[in-house]
Structure 1
């Protein structure tokens, strides 16, 4: 992405702002990458803060666009919302078509170190280094005010990005995050293939381990449905609660009665999360 260019796939006016979908060539992922950006109407007058949304397993940038119901409140609050893809794409990108928890759609927001995955599966660099340059260059964004949130695998990404970069992100929240992927059933296999067998290397990509190793953040918000089928084996928010309590990190963990893991759950509490971030971004 040396030339920092982007191609417009589509744009559509929504709630007085503009929802766009774009592609760019990623050096980190060695392929074309797609991402979505919603720009609120306030951006016609002034740069607006940026809120990154990271999606979950099997998703692309489009799932939250179609089902997340974020545009109306983001337009009212004056938030730019950026939605990256979840993995590299293309025929040349290695994959495991038999495993929905690994490969395409399952990049886990890390930089792979093991062959052949290390050529393309470098989502951490793509999102933290490449895309911010593009957003700052091509959109009316105030890059001094950024926050991050996400769902499931994306909640894992949001937590680890914020904990590792507390000076960049003003706030962090998550819907049903994988809080300890190094031990969760649906992520530890992917970690082994992306990062190798030495589990010490996994800790930099694990929210609970990062906190145990000294990472901190001003405060966190997590919503979790009590009827989520992945709650016991994959998500386990009580592990994050214990780690935050031991480290003195304020955590608002809201167990939402009867909600599952779907976008029906996410869209129900989307406005709450947008308000949370807007307050901390000074929007």
Structure 2
């Protein structure tokens, strides 16, 4: 691995690293915040999966998570949202291709060569950070925003028991039922909609997957709420399954990092309660 940068922040180090990925066949970059800690201690981990058009940097510079993570002694990791590079296929729209990996393992050409973000965030990157940083991988939590909220929900539902708590800000809860999902899953996975279900939180819950601690933050002035996010579908799926979910609706807030930064400290404090030994 190559360290790109390290910056002192709230009694910790905000670092950026780059490494060659076997999952994507490209260099990948991620951010990690490591609060100060006693020698030999291992820190609980909160993963953040970012949304459309984002890199590792958006949450790092706009999310304002560092102070809360320092207070609770939590490491915070922000992967990139897709493979990148001149040899990586792309699309001229913001919601497909580079910057829009949707946390799937693509099966369709030309995407299948590099777009294996599911494998990257579920397998490769956790193994890498466990080897190189003082992390307690028995105490993990996950959250994310928009496309990354979709990623957080589905990664946790597919890996039941790995994460002590699961959160999301403004998540795409059912890609099977929105234009963003139709475009991305159709493009990466093909026309067989049955293959999409493992990337749809509502479908996973319908098929029996469960989470012990789930919290969603959703702004009610979000321009994408009605057409793309459809938070009510997640609420209905959880109610039908008898699965407890804390879905918090915030009047007046939109889809932006202004919304995220307003509630991130409280959101991290909630995860911290579940990450305590």
Note whether the superposition's TM-score is higher than 0.5.
yes
Q: Is the 8 A contact 1:43 1:78 kept in 2?
A: no
| The one of 125, 131, 143 aligned to 1:131 | 125
Q: In the alignment, which residue of structure 2 is the partner of 1:12?
A: 7
- 1:134 Cα deviation from its structure 2 partner: 1.3
Q: Give me the whole-angstrom Cα distance separating, in 1, the residues matched to 2:213 and 2:231.
A: 15
Q: Give me the whole-angstrom Cα distance separating, in 2, the residues matched to 1:43 and 1:106.
A: 38
Moved more, 185-194 or 223-232: 185-194
Moved more, 80-89 or 182-191: 182-191
| The one of 65, 69, 94 aligned to 1:100 | 94
Aligned pairs (5 A) from 1:42-81: 42=37, 44-81=39-76
* Structure-2-length-normalised TM-score: 0.98
Q: Is the 8 A contact 1:158 1:173 kept in 2?
A: yes
- 1:81 Cα deviation from its structure 2 partner: 0.3
Which secondary structure state, in structure 1, belongs to the residue aligned with residue 270 of structure 2?
helix
| The one of 144, 158, 164 aligned to 2:152 | 158
| The one of 260, 267, 272 aligned to 1:266 | 260
Q: In the alignment, which residue of structure 2 is the partner of 1:176?
A: 170
Query: Cα deviations across residues 100-135 of structure 1 (Å, max 9, x unaligned)?
Result: 110000000110011110110000111111111111
**Unaligned residue ranges in structure 1 (runs of 5+):** 1-5
In structure 2, relative to structure 1, the CA distance for the partners of 1:113 and 1:273 (3 Å cut) is same
Q: Give me the whole-angstrom Cα distance separating, in 1, the residues matched to 2:244 and 2:29.
A: 35
Q: In the alignment, which residue of structure 1 is the partner of 2:229?
A: 235
Which secondary structure state, in structure 1, belongs to the residue aligned with residue 91 of structure 2?
coil
Q: Is the 8 A contact 1:101 1:187 kept in 2?
A: no
- 1:185 Cα deviation from its structure 2 partner: 1.3
| The one of 169, 180, 189 aligned to 1:195 | 189
Q: In the alignment, which residue of structure 2 is the partner of 1:3?
A: none
Which secondary structure state, in structure 2, belongs to the residue aligned with residue 42 of structure 1?
coil
- 1:44 Cα deviation from its structure 2 partner: 3.9
| The one of 244, 253, 264 aligned to 1:250 | 244
- 1:43 Cα deviation from its structure 2 partner: 5.5
Q: Give me the whole-angstrom Cα distance separating, in 1, the residues matched to 2:46 and 2:129.
A: 11
- 1:51 Cα deviation from its structure 2 partner: 0.6
Q: Give me the whole-angstrom Cα distance separating, in 2, the residues matched to 1:219 and 1:36.
A: 25
Q: Is the 8 A contact 1:219 1:249 kept in 2?
A: no
Q: In the alignment, which residue of structure 2 is the partner of 1:205?
A: 199
Q: Give me the whole-angstrom Cα distance separating, in 2, the residues matched to 1:121 and 1:47.
A: 32
Q: Give me the whole-angstrom Cα distance separating, in 2, the residues matched to 1:214 and 1:162.
A: 13
Where does structure 1 differ by over 6 angstroms across 4 or more consecutive aligned residues? none
- 1:141 Cα deviation from its structure 2 partner: 0.3
Which secondary structure state, in structure 2, belongs to the residue aligned with residue 90 of structure 1?
coil
Which secondary structure state, in structure 1, belongs to the residue aligned with residue 180 of structure 2?
coil
Aligned residues: 277
Q: Give me the whole-angstrom Cα distance separating, in 1, the residues matched to 2:191 and 2:100.
A: 19
- 1:214 Cα deviation from its structure 2 partner: 0.9
